[in-house]
Amino acid sequence: MKSRFTGVLIGQIIGIVIVCMISTFIALVSFGGIAGVGMATQSEEVFGLVAPLSCPHGTMNYEEYSASYNRPGEKNIYMECVAADGTTTDVTLQSIGYALLGFYLACFLPLCIPGGAAAIVIPLFFLRGGKKKEPHALDSLGDSSL
């Protein structure tokens, strides 16, 4: 029984590793496109969600502008954190990083959590049967003492 349990446990660990590797690959391939479209179309809403992380002790000023050297239709963003004393800090890159991390987790977790649960549950079916008592070789010969 001990070696069977160990085999199931190793199967679960291998299953979780495989599921997480596949989930990581799919999330890495897909989150960039989703994040790019999300930040381009709904940038103020996306960066509003990460404002508490980028600027925890102040208010976030979000500014979208079009510089004269940009082609028509191109816009840039600038985010700054205004502290209570009036000092400002540029948090544009930090906000983009938090937004990318959020989009990555939004792509990774829905794949990894159910897959990991399945990798834990499926090997347990191998423990259900238990060991069946095999008939002894002498029992099948019958009683030869008569």
* C-alpha to C-alpha distance for 87 and 107, rounded to whole angstroms: 36
The reply to whether 134 falls in a domain is no
pLDDT attached to residue 3: 78
Instruction: With respect to residue 18, please indicate whether it lies within any of the assigned structural domains.
Output: yes
Question: Contact, 78 vs 63, CB < 8 A?
Answer: yes
Instruction: Output the pLDDT for position 11.
Output: 83
Domain limits at 105? 2-129
Q: Is it the case that residue 144 has pLDDT exceeding 60?
A: no
Digit-coded pLDDT (tens) for 11-45 = 888 989 999 999 999 999 988 888 988 888 888 88
144: in domain: no
Residue 86 lies in a domain: yes
Residue 113 placed within a domain: yes
**47 neighbors 79 (Cβ within 8 angstroms):** yes
**Three-class secondary structure of residue 106 per DSSP:** helix
Count of structural domains, the chain? 1
Indicate whether 10 belongs to any domain: yes
Tell me whether residue 83 is in a domain. yes
pLDDT digit string, tens, across residues 51-87: 889 888 888 888 887 776 666 667 788 889 988 888 8
Residue 17 included in any domain: yes
H helix runs in the chain, sequence order: 2-41, 43-54, 92-121, 125-128, 137-141
What is the residue-averaged pLDDT of the chain? Answer: 81
